[in-house]
Amino acid sequence: MSDIREWLRAQPSLTGAAPTLDLAELPEDPEPLFVDWIGEAAESGVAEPHTATLATVDGDGIPDARTLILKNVDAEGWSFAGARSSRKSQQIAARPAAALNFWWQPLRRAVRVRGMIREASPVESAADLAARSAEARGGIAAGEWVLWRIVATRVEFWQGSADRNHNRIIYRRAEGGWQRTVMGSITGVESDQIVDGRA
């Protein structure tokens, strides 16, 4: 490939088909909307919709990222797991904050989750390890396996449009609940439609 820059510029983007998005029927919290979106991704044939990119920062402030599997999402947060001896575990111990990014290309949809990380209880971590197949468990001891949760402070739902008039639904944690707004991707300015009176 002689000219990678020209080749990259020639590649098509936003080739999927975005579902209908009703901005007037959004939940108060981000969790149920995420569950709806990941379910729609699975029903649409998106391969491995539960995979995400986890970004962390090490003790020197240098970012890192890897692809992993989402274990659960509930009112407590977005859960993932790994070995205590892993690099991500060391980075989490140094700086317990992270971001998750989900990308469902056929639907032109992405979700970004940012927040602080909390380690689950030893019982929960052991249960997650026990739920893995024998091959996946390998020789991992129960105390070596950790389940973490990202306690979200900001969750952004992005739906792309071929005309670049993208939809961004942003939830920010606020006292007593969530603040919810719709933003314009091109201008970065809040649209006229505020979908939560607290925004």
List the chain pLDDT tens, one digit each, 199 residues.
679 999 999 999 888 899 989 988 999 999 999 999 999 999 999 999 999 999 999 999 999 999 999 999 999 999 999 999 999 999 999 999 999 999 999 999 999 999 999 999 999 999 999 898 877 777 787 788 999 999 999 999 999 988 878 899 999 999 889 999 988 654 444 443 434 433 3
**DSSP, res 138:** T
Strands (E), the chain: 51-57, 63-69, 72-74, 77-83, 97-104, 109-119, 145-159, 167-174, 177-184
- Distant-in-sequence, close-in-space partners of 131: CB < 8 Å, separation ≥ 6: none
Give which of 101, 99, 100, 104 is closest to 160, Cα–Cα: 104
**In the structure, how many helices (H) and strands (E) does the chain have?**
5, 9
Nearest CA among 134, 113, 107, 120 for reference residue 38: 107
Domains, the chain, with CATH or none: 24-163 (2.30.110.10)
**Which tokens hold the place of 22?**
């009703």
CB atoms within 10 A of CB 85: 10
- pLDDT for 185: 53
pLDDT at 161: 86
Given phi > 0 = left and psi -120 to 50 = alpha, else beta, which region is 148? beta
Q: CA–CA distance from 149 to each of 23, 28, 35, 43, 175 (Å)?
A: 28, 21, 16, 26, 20
